A = this chain, B = another copy of it.
């Protein structure tokens, strides 16, 4: 398996990217194609022992930088490293692409070169959300802010495949996030989505409330990216706030190592989305993974590992099959969505 990596993506490129690539090549036993300026990338690579690993360089001088408008930059820089790397997937020379940002550049390249799977118009962002509910994934977490009911259905399908493949849950329960458990409770979008989900053939259990997220009541929790993004960021901030409060309360009462263990555990549990380092862009017709812009070598390596898993589990193929099945149950042809 070969994974194309944008050597110039992220805040610490190319140094941390190259370091992460060397580690990932060994740990995950994958071939890597590093895309970026030949001399600069080779200089970084020379710092490491690369015996026994297959790392090639594809040369390009152009790359995106943070702060550019991604769509505009991709039009100007036709040889941008992320674009070249993504094309390697399209041409069958790589099995997946990994980029550490700008996120808009990774998403834009994926959309432009690979497109989305039939029936879904935009990539979906989601995943496990809270360490206390490891068997719950939330979709969408910020990629799609205003949503139509058929998009919420798409999120439910994507989430079901995620839970099946990544969390090994055979028949994941799916729920709409709302303000009350009863059908008819919710905003207009939720109410309109309810019957679509009922007829979808998914394991739909109705609405859940905010209270039910930490308790893990459903495996797949569906919301628009506006609500999802606010919840994720609120959760991170609340976790950090509680940690500071807690440190202050116990600093004279517990040994430092105990405090650290509790604080680290709580931060990880409430920052799961950040801690994952990134992951696949769902609904792209090919495996494209984003790592956070601030990724260091270990996050880069982790996301390369996720890319390998996505290829191995055939996430894209599974998603296509689920989409066809759900849409045919609804008598809603893919082309109409």
Chain A residues near B (Cβ < 8 Å)? 130, 132, 142, 145-146, 177-179, 186-188, 190, 209-215, 223-227, 229-238, 240-242, 245-246, 249-250, 253-254, 258, 261-262, 265-266, 269-270
Contact = CB atoms under 8 A, between A and B. Distances in A.
7 contacts: A146-B187, A177-B230, A186-B226, A210-B236, A214-B234, A227-B230, A231-B231
B187 A132 contact: no
Task: Tell me what chain A mostly uses at the interface: helix, strand, loop, or mixed.
Answer: helix
A238 B237 contact: no
Leading 10 A-B pairs by shortest Cβ distance: A210-B233, A210-B234, A210-B230, A211-B233, A211-B237, A214-B241, A179-B229, A214-B237, A187-B226, A145-B187
Nearest to A223: B230
Number of copies: 2
Contacts of A266: 242, 245-246
Q: Name the residue among A224, A236, A238, A269 with the largest chain B CB count within 10 angstroms.
A: A238
A224 B187 CA distance: 10
Contact of A246 (B142, B224, B262, B270): B262
A145 B179 contact: yes
A263 to B, nearest CB: 11
A232 to B, nearest CB: 7
A237 B210 contact: yes
A269 B224 CA distance: 28
B262 A237 contact: no
B187 A210 contact: no
A253 B258 contact: yes
Contact of A234 (B187, B231, B258): B231
B142 A179 contact: yes
